């Protein structure tokens, strides 16, 4: 488990999601990376059924940690628990009900290249599986302090992503001198998921207004 950085790769003009993913995969493969299977990071959102303060809980699974479920409250508290947590939450239906049409999933290929693990995934939201964007996860295994290896990671990412990053993402910036934890990875994913959801919500509102 090394330093993990998750970034959003903006879609170039006039290219579809699949085309962009293919392009990125081609680039990383020409760098000499080897395919090591698929990866999934999924997020289910639950809402508390009590009316007073409406709390939201996100339950995430990362295929890199197959035996673990991460439960994150809207306050940022993260619980790292066994996979059986899903069954527990299923039993607590009366208190926490799953939010409809709020399931987010990132799926894609996992690559290994030297000390780096690169995952290129496309984000899919809701039941109608609408494509939302591309997330790229880069992990540098030998190091656990982001401050120590950010320069190296940035240079590596520039190698196949181009100049889209000039400074570390806010989440990493805040924790440059902390050792990374498994929960940090899913927290970064969750940030992007929340952004995608907000954008989707705004789009819907705009569409509704236009229809009126």
Please give the Cα distance from 191 to 97 (Å, whole number): 21
Select from 16-24, 66-74, 98-106, 164-172 the region that touches other proteins (CB under 8 A): 66-74
Q: Where are the beta strands (DSSP E) in 18-115?
A: 34-48, 56-62, 68-73, 78-82, 96-98, 104-113
Decide: is 174 part of the binding site for other proteins (CB under 8 A): no
* Nearer Cβ to other proteins (4/33): 4
Q: At closest approach, how far in Å is the CB of 152 from other proteins?
A: 21
Question: CB-hemisphere CA count at 13 Å for 210?
Answer: 6
Q: At closest approach, how far in Å is the CB of 1 from other proteins?
A: 6
Site for other proteins in 34-63 (CB under 8 A): 63
* Nearer Cβ to other proteins (2/133): 2
Contact between 71 and 58 (Cβ < 8 Å): yes
Q: At closest approach, how far in Å is the CB of 69 from other proteins?
A: 7
DSSP H stretches of helix in the chain? 17-30, 85-91, 146-161, 170-174, 182-211
Decide: is 71 part of the binding site for other proteins (CB under 8 A): no
Contact footprint for other proteins (CB under 8 A): 1, 63-70, 80-85, 181-183
């Amino acid at each position: 488990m090394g330093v993990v950085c998750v970034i959003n790769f903006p879609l170039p003009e006039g290219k579809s999601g699949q085309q962009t993913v293919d392009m990125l995969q081609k680039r990383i493969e020409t760098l000499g990376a080897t395919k090591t299977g698929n990866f999934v990071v999924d997020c289910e959102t639950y809402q508390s059924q009590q009316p007073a303060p409406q709390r939201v809980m996100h339950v995430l699974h990362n295929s890199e940690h197959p035996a673990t479920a991460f439960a994150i409250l809207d306050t940022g508290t993260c619980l790292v628990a066994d996979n059986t947590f899903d069954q527990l939450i299923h039993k607590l239906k009366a208190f926490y009900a799953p939010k409809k049409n709020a399931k987010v999933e990132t799926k894609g290929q996992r690559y290994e290249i030297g000390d780096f693990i690169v995952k290129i995934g496309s984000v899919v939201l809701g039941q109608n599986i609408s494509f939302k964007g591309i997330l790229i996860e880069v992990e540098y295994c030998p190091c656990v302090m982001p401050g120590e290896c950010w320069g190296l990671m940035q240079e590596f990412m520039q190698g196949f992503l181009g100049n889209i990053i000039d400074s570390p993402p806010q989440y990493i910036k805040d924790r440059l001198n902390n050792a990374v934890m498994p929960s940090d990875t899913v927290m970064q994913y969750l940030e992007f998921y929340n952004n995608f959801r907000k954008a989707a919500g705004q789009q819907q509102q705009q569409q509704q207004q236009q229809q009126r």
